[in-house]
């Protein structure tokens, strides 16, 4: 009989896309994660993953299990809740997020609002560099954004949330499986090089040692994905955690195993924030979404 620990590890593997990433999340070794997942597959008598080198992707059985595993963990969490709950939180809180992280932040705020009706939560979207400036200026209480590894303002506190691995997205009518061949044969739609995500794309291209044929440069993941869906080219992008690109019949998503580059998503707040309890609760809700 599979234990809750196995399902927690399963959710971590599904979220991280590798046994190594899951090991860091659940404080186990990579070998222990692999053993737990083999045990889970043996217990359920079916394979749950498609393995491509170090990249692990849920197969049809794994995707069917995902909502059930989240439900089990959520129900167990409800059983552990203490009847003497703390006083409900209240007040106005201003939050921000990059567009691709907005759905996750909205789910977190809705969950908090249900438990704490006195909270007045305002959410806005902007670019990462703008969000950092707004948090540092006190215009936002916290924000979910792409972390710049060179950003080290002493006034800010960062909480790592998750990583989004880089992948090549191609139209469904492309048949090639070699990433370099796709980049050579199709027009390349690039993410804005002035943004952190664009710089990450550039580092990935350098590691691949390839210069694609430039077609267009945009600063929106979904806008680029829409152009790829229309067979106008290919692109290298981080896989947004809230997206369903793997299940999209109009997109081919190919993991890039030649590099470990990934977009780091973090929650940032002012160091002496007066609403730290609410901000901490927001962070917990964001992290909990991968274990439900």
β-sheet bridge partners, residue 55: 52
Q: For the residues 157-163, what does the mean pLDDT come to?
A: 90
∠ Cα 5 71 62 (to 5°): 70
Residue-level pLDDT at 82: 52
User: What pLDDT band is residue 86 in, cutting at 50, 70 and 90?
Assistant: low
Class of domain 4-80: mainly alpha
pLDDT at residue 290 is higher than 60: yes
pLDDT of residue 271: 78
**Distance between CA 53 and CA 124 in Å, rounded?**
39
Which pLDDT score is estimated for 14?
86
Q: CATH assignment of 164-263, given 3.30.1650.10, 3.40.50.300, 3.30.930.10, 3.40.190.10?
A: 3.40.190.10
* Rounded mean pLDDT, 236-243: 88
Instruction: Grade residue 12 by pLDDT with cuts at 50, 70 and 90.
Output: confident
Average pLDDT, the chain: 87
Instruction: Indicate if the pLDDT at residue 183 is higher than 80.
Output: yes
What does the CA dihedral 26, 28, 34, 39 come to, rounded to 10 degrees? -80
**Is the pLDDT at 81 greater than 60, yes or no?**
no
Burial zone of 138 (CB within 10 Å; 0-12 exposed, 13-18 middle, 19+ buried):
exposed
- Give the Cα separation of 14 and 20 in Å (integer): 12
Distance (Å, whole) CA 174 – CA 78: 47
Is 70 exceeded by the pLDDT of residue 131? yes
pLDDT value, residue 25: 76
Which pLDDT score, from 0 to 100, does residue 101 have?
93
Structure token pair of residue 13: 């593997």
In the chain, the percentage of residues whose pLDDT exceeds 70 is 94
pLDDT band at 175 (very low <50, low <70, confident <90, very high): confident
Q: What is the pLDDT of residues 197-237, one digit of tens each?
A: 999 999 999 999 999 999 899 999 999 999 999 999 999 99
Residue in 274, 197, 195, 275 with CA at minimum distance from that of residue 236? 197
Q: What is the pLDDT of residue 236?
A: 96
In this prediction, residues 3-29 reach a mean pLDDT of 85
**Chain segment 105-126, per-residue pLDDT in tens:** 999 999 999 888 999 999 999 9
Whole-number pLDDT of residue 2: 62
Provide the Cα torsion 218, 223, 225, 226; round to 10°. Answer: -130
CATH 3.40.190.10 positions along the chain are 164-263
Residue 78 pLDDT more than 70? Answer: no
To which H or E segment does residue 231 belong? Answer: none
**In the predicted model, is pLDDT for residue 273 greater than 70?**
no
Give residue-wise pLDDT tens across range 39-69. 999 999 999 998 887 788 889 999 899 888 8
Rounded-to-integer distance, Cα 216 and Cα 213, Å: 10
pLDDT at 106: 93
Query: Which residues are bridge partners to 167 per DSSP?
Result: 237, 255
pLDDT given at position 144: 96
Residue 24 per-residue DSSP state:
H
pLDDT at residue 96 in the model: 96
In the chain, CATH 1.10.10.10 covers: 4-80
Give pLDDT, residue 246.
87
Strands (E), 135-219: 142-146, 156-170, 188-191, 214-218
């Amino acid at each position: 009989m599979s234990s809750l620990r196995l399902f927690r590890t399963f959710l971590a593997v599904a979220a991280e896309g590798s046994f190594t990433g899951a090991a860091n999340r659940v404080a186990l070794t990579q070998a222990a994660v692999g053993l737990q997942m083999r045990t889970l597959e043996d217990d359920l008598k079916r394979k749950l993953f498609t393995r491509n080198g170090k990249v692990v992707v849920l197969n049809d059985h794994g995707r069917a299990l995902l909502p059930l595993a989240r439900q089990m963990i959520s129900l167990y969490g409800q059983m552990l809740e203490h009847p003497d709950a703390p006083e409900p939180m209240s007040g106005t809180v201003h939050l921000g997020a990059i567009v691709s992280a907005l759905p996750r932040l909205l789910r977190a705020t809705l969950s908090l609002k249900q438990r704490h009706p006195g909270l007045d939560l305002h959410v806005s979207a902007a670019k990462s560099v703008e969000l950092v400036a707004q948090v540092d200026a006190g215009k936002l209480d916290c924000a979910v954004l792409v972390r710049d590894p060179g950003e080290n303002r002493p006034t800010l506190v960062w909480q790592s949330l998750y990583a989004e691995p880089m992948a090549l997205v191609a139209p469904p009518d492309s048949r090639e499986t070699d990433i370099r061949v796709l980049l050579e044969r199709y027009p390349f739609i690039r993410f804005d090089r002035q943004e952190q995500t664009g710089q990450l794309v550039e580092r990935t291209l350098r590691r691949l040692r390839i210069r694609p044929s430039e077609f267009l440069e945009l600063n929106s993941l979904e806008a680029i994905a829409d152009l790829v869906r229309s067979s106008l080219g290919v692109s290298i992008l981080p896989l947004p955690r809230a997206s369903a690109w793997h299940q999209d019949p109009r997109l081919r998503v190919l993991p890039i195993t030649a590099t470990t580059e990934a977009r780091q998503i973090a929650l940032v707040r002012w160091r002496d924030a007066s609403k730290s309890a609410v901000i901490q609760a927001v962070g917990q809700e964001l992290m909990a979404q991968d274990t439900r």
